A = this chain, B = another copy of it.
Amino acid sequence: MNLQAHEPSATQQDVTGTLSRWIVGLRGDDIPAEVRREGLRTFVNWAGCAVGGADHETVDRAIAAITPFSGAATSGVLGRAERFDALHAALLNGITSHVLDYDDTHLKTIIHPAGPVASALVALAEQRTISGQDLLTAMIIGIEVECRIGNCVYPAHYDRGWHITGTAGVFGAAAAVGWILGLDETKMAWALGLAATQASNLREMFGTMTKSFHPGRAAQNGMFSSFLAEAGFDSSTRGIEAPRGFARVLSDKQDYAEITDGLGTRWEAALNSYKPFACGIVIHPTIDGCLQIRKEIGERVNDITAVALKAHPLVLELTGKKTPRTGLEGKFSVYHAAATALLRGDGAPTAFTDEVVADPGIIALRDRVTAVADLGCHEASVDIDVSFTDGTRLSHHVERALGSREVPLTDEQIGTKFRTQAALVIGEKAADRFLQDCWRLEHMTDAAEMARSGVRGA
Task: Give the interface of A toward B (CB within 8 A).
Answer: 1-3, 58, 61-62, 64-65, 68-72, 85-88, 127, 160-163, 166, 193-194, 196-205, 208-210, 213-214, 217, 224, 227-228, 230-236, 238-239, 242-246, 248-249, 316-317, 320-321, 373
Q: Is the CB of A236 within 8 A of B248?
A: no
Q: Is the CB of A161 within 8 A of B244?
A: yes
In the complex, the chain B residue whose C-beta lies closest to that of A200 is B200
| Bound form: Cα–Cα A71–B73 in Å | 9
Q: Is the CB of A71 within 8 A of B85?
A: yes
Q: Is the CB of B209 within 8 A of A233?
A: yes
Contact among B86, B196, B198, B213 with A197 in the assembled complex (CB-CB below 8 Å): B213
Q: Is the CB of B231 within 8 A of A65?
A: yes
| Bound form: Cα–Cα A456–B211 in Å | 41
| Bound form: Cα–Cα A422–B197 in Å | 30
Contact among B61, B201, B231 with A61 in the assembled complex (CB-CB below 8 Å): B231
In the complex, the chain B residue whose C-beta lies closest to that of A238 is B204
Q: Is the CB of B238 within 8 A of A213?
A: no
| Bound form: Cα–Cα A373–B1 in Å | 10
| Bound form: Cα–Cα A71–B214 in Å | 22
| Bound form: Cα–Cα A65–B231 in Å | 6
| Bound form: Cα–Cα A87–B85 in Å | 14
In the complex, the chain B residue whose C-beta lies closest to that of A240 is B204
A219–chain B nearest beta-carbon distance, Å: 14
Chain B contacts for A210, CB-based, 8 A? 193-194, 197, 233-236
Chain B contacts for A58, CB-based, 8 A? 233
Chain B contacts for A249, CB-based, 8 A? 160-162, 202, 204
Chain B contacts for A85, CB-based, 8 A? 68-71
Are A72 and B65 CB-contacts (below 8 A) given A161-B244, A204-B238, A234-B208? no
Contact among B61, B62, B197 with A214 in the assembled complex (CB-CB below 8 Å): B197
In the complex, the chain B residue whose C-beta lies closest to that of A319 is B1
Are A208 and B236 CB-contacts (below 8 A) given A1-B317, A65-B224, A202-B245? yes
A214–chain B nearest beta-carbon distance, Å: 7
| Bound form: Cα–Cα A189–B213 in Å | 16
